[in-house]
Amino acid sequence: MNPEADTSRLEKAVRTAETALIEFEIAVETFRVEVENFSRLHHQRLGPVYARLDELEAQIAEAVAARSGDAEDLRRAREARALVQPLPGVEQLFNGWLDSEGLSPEAQAMLTEKPVRPPRRVRPSDEARKAFRELVRKAHPDLARDEGERLRREEFIVRVNAAYADGDEALLRELAAEWAAGPPPEPRPLDVAEELYARLEWLARRKEMLSELAAELEGSAIGSMLRMAPDDPDGLLEEIAEGLRAQVAEREAHLRELVG
């Protein structure tokens, strides 16, 4: 047996696993940003249209009930009106205040009096995505070899993730310059096979955790919608909006027929 050769192969395996994990984490974070942006834009742009549809359904049901006087039609009219103006429950009271990271940007803005900038689009630009990938590959906390370096990287990546979520290309470029000007990466420890084995085990556990997160995102309602248009999520929003506007026009026409 050649201990040096074995250690070299083990180090190569660790580097390969680190690279694969970082690429996977970049993909998961990108999808998480898209899910949250799609959810927020869906609510901002289409919420009023959904509300208009609910109101039209209530008015149509009320018009039908007024014509027929039928008990079943009256019940349907009451139910339709209740959907337009429901009594708020706990979840509804906090709707829009909480997201996967805790307080939503809107809620934070209310508490800090800082203006919130809604996402301009579902998917950050190609330049923002490229800058994000390069930064994560260089500064990812999993590449640290001691706790102090890990904390430094974690704090930095939080800022990178926030800039990426906003699609802020200029800030991502500033962060890239900041990282390049910082302390150089630490040399790998001279190390021992046990440490490398432990590292591989940790990377495997991290991969399992990310796989669970990816499955949760993909299984969500918004994630499922995004999978319908992976190449053009912004176009999907407009397609949904067009369909809703057509429904509004159809229901408005039907209501006009009912009320004469």
Residue 215 CA: distances (Å) to CA of 28, 225, 238: 10, 14, 26
> Is 166 part of a structural domain of the chain?
no
Other CB atoms within 10 A of residue 258 CB: 14
How confident is the model over 68-92, as a mean pLDDT? 78
Residue 185 CA: distances (Å) to CA of 45, 58, 140: 45, 63, 11
Domain residues for the domain of 93 are: 9-123+189-259
> Is 16 part of a structural domain of the chain?
yes
> Is 176 part of a structural domain of the chain?
no
Q: pLDDT category, 188, cuts 50, 70, 90?
A: low
Report the domain count for the chain. Answer: 1
Closest CA to 256 of 63, 110, 9, 69: 63
CB 167 within 8 A of CB 135: no
> Is 159 part of a structural domain of the chain?
no
Which one is predicted more confidently, 11 or 130? Answer: 130
> Is 204 part of a structural domain of the chain?
yes
Residue identified by tokens 């990271």 is 101
| Entry pTM | 0.70
> Is 44 part of a structural domain of the chain?
yes
> Is 92 part of a structural domain of the chain?
yes
pLDDT tens-digit map of 32-59: 999 999 998 888 888 889 999 999 999 9
> Is 99 part of a structural domain of the chain?
yes
